[in-house]
Structure 1
Amino acid sequence: MDLNTVVEIRDARHPAPWRPGDAWLGGGTYLFSEPQPRLRRLVDLSRTGWTPVRLDADGSLEIAATCTIAQLSRFAKQLQVPAAPLFEQCCRAFLASFKIWNMATVGGNLCNALPAGPMISLTAALEGECLLRSQTGAMRRIRTAGFVKGAGRNDLADGELLRSVTLPARALGCRTAFRQASLYGLGRSGVLVIGTLDPLDRSMAVTVTASTVRPVRLWFPLPPTARGLRAAIGAAVADGEWFDDIHGLPEWRQHMTFRLAEEIRRELQREAR
């Protein structure tokens, strides 16, 4: 879609004062999908030269905001860690054409903060930490689960930029379990639940996305009972936080969340034994 209100595109490598009507341009799959009447200038990140994905010496994984889904998928296929299968599962959870697959970015998926965003699911489940940069150059870090505040709402200040997401080595060493539900084949995720089991201390975490307006990550020092898991999810998700749109009613999303979370609990409990 043409953005006929945009009058200028600026290269992000050459800083300039942020002004009303500015927006960061990564892959552009959201920006060019619908009218953006408030926009006047795009700040293009495509020439920043950031390394898409990097495995650091301490075993942590840094994913640049400009990393595309295709790049992340290719990298993860060579990744020799227990959590590696989860990357492809989340990449394939996109409702996307090959064009979107090759243009959409991890950062864009996070910043759009849509409940069904599978990069939110992936990074929240693996304890991702977002690195944010202000217009003054100041940096701050925040967990993905806190960065996404609600449906379409994130923690970015005006002009602030998501630079990267870092996944710690310990999270990458976890066993994972993945469950997804949609109302119809190849449909947008209505429910997406991920479980992780830490082999070092047998702690378990369950992360709920798509069915809720924000990511909900629950940590248990030991695998919980079925009743304990259900109670924890019920306490963590308020009644108004079950997402409601044409891809699923809140009651259905809640029911499927409990069902899939229990499947994950049983799967990881077998692993723990």
Structure 2
Amino acid sequence: MDLNSITEVVRRPFDRPGSQWRGGDTWLAGGTWLFSVPQPDCRRLVDLTTLGWDALTITDAGLEIGATCTIRELYAFAPQCDWPTAPLLATSCEAFLSSFKVWNAATVGGNICLSLPAGPMITLTVALEATYTLWAADGTERTVDAADFVTGDHRNVLEPGEILRRIDIPAATLRTRHAHRRFTLTRLGRSTVFLVGTRATGADDLRLTVTAGTTRPLRLAFEAMPDAAELRRRIDAVPDDVWFDDPNGSPDHRHHLTTHFAEQIRVELAAGDRP
């Protein structure tokens, strides 16, 4: 789609592009959503792809993902590490409502900042207990937990001129066991629910991440593996207004699917450590 309100495109922004921010600006990374709908309030695009941020970096602390890392780069990533949850990276890429051709442009950071309930990069990073590094327009930076970033449908904690710079996934969660369940109305459709459970190897805990069926991601933490009744109680305690309602599923339908799939995940992870 042509964005006929644009008067300027900044092709080579400063290394700290927030210092150039002004009203009417929009950050441009992949642009796969940006160019798909009218943007009447946008006057200037600031292109982040020219900044040369590293896409994926393995460190002793875990995995760093640059915000401009493309979905194609993440999908192709094959870490030579003992990370049982590594397959979840590809699984989350496959949950996109898009063709593989879009993966060449769409970015991890863009999907997170769009903050839609079905954003699979949100599911991935919340489930793996990532943190986000945010750069403010005044040159300062802050770190937020992935679970706290999205606050509602298409809403997040970003301030004007603030930018998502990096996603950090800790090595500890990359070494956990995981199980996931996802439901769509059609094989390649938007997620109605997307759940991921993790359990530390040799431990008896459970972390259940609920997304797509809720307006914001939920992380339900259990220090010991719950029984079916306790798990259901935690899900039933989710406020009614948090369940998402759109043509892909009613709140009641999403609540039901979440309860059903959460129990499957609990049983799978409760079965004990398996090769």
Q: CA RMSD, aligned part only?
A: 1.4
> In 1, Cα distance between the equivalents of 2:144 and 2:24?
26
1:231 to 209, 230, 233: 233
Matches within 5 A, 1:14-33: 15=17, 16-33=19-36
Shift of residue 78, structure 1, vs aligned partner: 5.1
TM-score normalized with structure 2 length: 0.95
> In 2, Cα distance between the equivalents of 1:163 and 1:200?
34
> In 2, Cα distance between the equivalents of 1:6 and 1:245?
31
Instruction: Output one character per residue of 1:190-232: Cα deviation in whole Å (capped at 9) or x when no partner.
Output: 0000000111533210000000000000111111101111111
Q: Specify the alignment match of 1:8 in structure 2.
A: 8
Q: Specify the alignment match of 1:242 in structure 2.
A: 243
> Contact 1:193/1:207 (CA < 8 Å) preserved in 2?
yes
Matches within 5 A, 1:185-264: 185-235=187-237, 237-264=238-265
> In 1, Cα distance between the equivalents of 2:170 and 2:93?
19
> In 2, Cα distance between the equivalents of 1:77 and 1:166?
15
Shift of residue 79, structure 1, vs aligned partner: 5.1
Runs of 5+ unmatched residues, structure 2: none
> In 1, Cα distance between the equivalents of 2:46 and 2:86?
33
Matching residue's letter, 1:268: L
Q: Specify the alignment match of 1:176 in structure 2.
A: 178
Q: Specify the alignment match of 1:93 in structure 2.
A: 95
> In 2, Cα distance between the equivalents of 1:222 and 1:201?
8
Matches within 5 A, 1:78-117: 80-117=82-119
> In 1, Cα distance between the equivalents of 2:105 and 2:80?
21
> Contact 1:209/1:215 (CA < 8 Å) preserved in 2?
yes
Q: Specify the alignment match of 2:42 in structure 1.
A: 39
> In 2, Cα distance between the equivalents of 1:125 and 1:200?
19
Matching residue's letter, 1:61: L
> Contact 2:14/2:20 (CA < 8 Å) preserved in 1?
no
Shift of residue 186, structure 1, vs aligned partner: 1.4
Matching residue's letter, 2:107: T
> Contact 1:83/1:175 (CA < 8 Å) preserved in 2?
yes
Matching residue's letter, 2:185: L
> Contact 1:13/1:47 (CA < 8 Å) preserved in 2?
no
Matching residue's letter, 1:264: I
2:139 to 137, 141, 145: 137
Instruction: Output one character per residue of 1:26-65: Cα deviation in whole Å (capped at 9) or x when no partner.
Output: 100111001000000011001111110111123x111111
> Secondary structure of 1:190's partner?
strand
> Contact 2:13/2:47 (CA < 8 Å) preserved in 1?
yes
More displaced 10-residue stretch of structure 1: 180-189 or 123-132: 180-189
> Contact 1:76/1:88 (CA < 8 Å) preserved in 2?
no
Q: Specify the alignment match of 1:159 in structure 2.
A: 161
> Secondary structure of 1:254's partner?
helix
> In 2, Cα distance between the equivalents of 1:88 and 1:48?
25
> Contact 1:126/1:167 (CA < 8 Å) preserved in 2?
yes
> In 2, Cα distance between the equivalents of 1:183 and 1:53?
33
1:126 to 114, 125, 128: 128
> Secondary structure of 2:51's partner?
coil
> In 1, Cα distance between the equivalents of 2:243 and 2:193?
10
